[in-house]
Structures are given as C-alpha cells and as structure tokens.
Amino acid sequence: MTDRDCKDSWTTIADCVARSLTESDDARLWDLAIAEIFRDAEYLSGHTRSKSPIFAEVGTCSHWQRPHQHRWLKDGGFAAPYGYDGTGFNIHANPEFDWSLCFRWNADDHCWIAVEKIRGKRPLTFRVTVPTRTKTHNQAAVHTVWTPGSPTAPDQEAIRLYGFRREDDHWQCTATAGHESPYEIPEGDE
C-alpha cells in the first residue's frame, strides 16, 4: 500500500462518496459530516480491543420515518433520523440506504480503503446514513450505528446521531447524541 492509496481516512471516503452524490445533495455538508463522523470512528478504530475486521458503510436515505411527527429535540429539533430497515415497525429502526459504499479500516496505515462489500467473521460495522436533498434544507440529522458493537465495546451496539445546520451557506455540526460509553477510552489506553 502506498501513501497515495491511503490518504487521510475521511478524504478517501469523501472522494468515493462525491462520485455518487446527485445535484440535490450538498457536497459541503457531506465533506463536513464525513470529517466530523469519521474523526470519531478513527479514534475508536485506533483503540480497538477486538480482533474482528472493521468496516464502514456510508450512504443516503430518502425515506425517513414520518419525519414531521417524530423529532429529535436536540439543538432546536431535527427530523428524527430513523427509517424502516429490518422487519416490522420499530420507532428507532435504521434508515434504509438508497445507495451505499463500503470501506475497510486498515489498522497498519490508519486509514479506510474502499471495498466492494463487507466480509469476514463477525465484522464490526459502522453504518452512516445521511439524508438526501440536502441542498434544499438548512438542517440534516445523520444516523450512525456500530453493529454488533464498536471497536472499544464489540458486544454493545452503539447508535450516535449528528445534527448539522446551515447558516449563511455554511454547515456546522451543532448537536450529537447517543451511546457515549464506547467513546470513553480509559486513561492509559491513549
């Protein structure tokens, strides 16, 4: 593997995602969201306690669960970033992907590498879902989940939400919520 193959972890993801975005998706939001979210994922991946391979699946969802009747109330409120993935009705179901891309964490080079699909025995998978049509909205709630768990807590599913707002044509992350314990690395493990 060369330095050219393994850039900053989120730059590789952003480059791949950029080719899949439509005219209604705001690339600036995607760049910020990927940098913000994968900074956390890279931190956890660098502190892994698991021998399992680590993957990320990044994509969009256009069909969120009743967005005007289910709210995430952090920072003034966002449409709740949940969907209909899986069987039956669940108020906190994962969003379904319209499209997605897969990446594998390379622990030796500390970066993400694009792959065709998730493979391996009991992989830890970081699933990131960003809403579509972000050019027409001034806010976006992003759903992330580690399954079956995070690199620091491989047996504990970890959901984390990120809220982004656009003001004066500039996006910023204004809210996060979710499972905090996987992100709390004991001193001495740093």
- For residue 183, the model assigns a pLDDT of 63
- For residue 51, the model assigns a pLDDT of 84
- Above 80 in pLDDT, residue 108? yes
- For residue 65, the model assigns a pLDDT of 65
- For residue 69, the model assigns a pLDDT of 62
Counts of helices then strands in the chain (DSSP H, E): 2, 9
Average pLDDT, the chain: 83
The whole model's pTM is what? 0.86
Which neighbouring-strand residues pair with 79?
A: 71
- Above 80 in pLDDT, residue 147? yes
Task: List strand residue ranges (DSSP E) for the chain, in order.
Answer: 54-61, 71-72, 78-79, 99-106, 111-115, 124-131, 139-147, 158-167, 170-178
- For residue 103, the model assigns a pLDDT of 96
> pLDDT tens for residues 12-44?
898 999 999 999 999 999 999 999 999 889 888
Confidence of residue 121 (pLDDT cuts 50, 70, 90): confident
Confidence of residue 101 (pLDDT cuts 50, 70, 90): very high
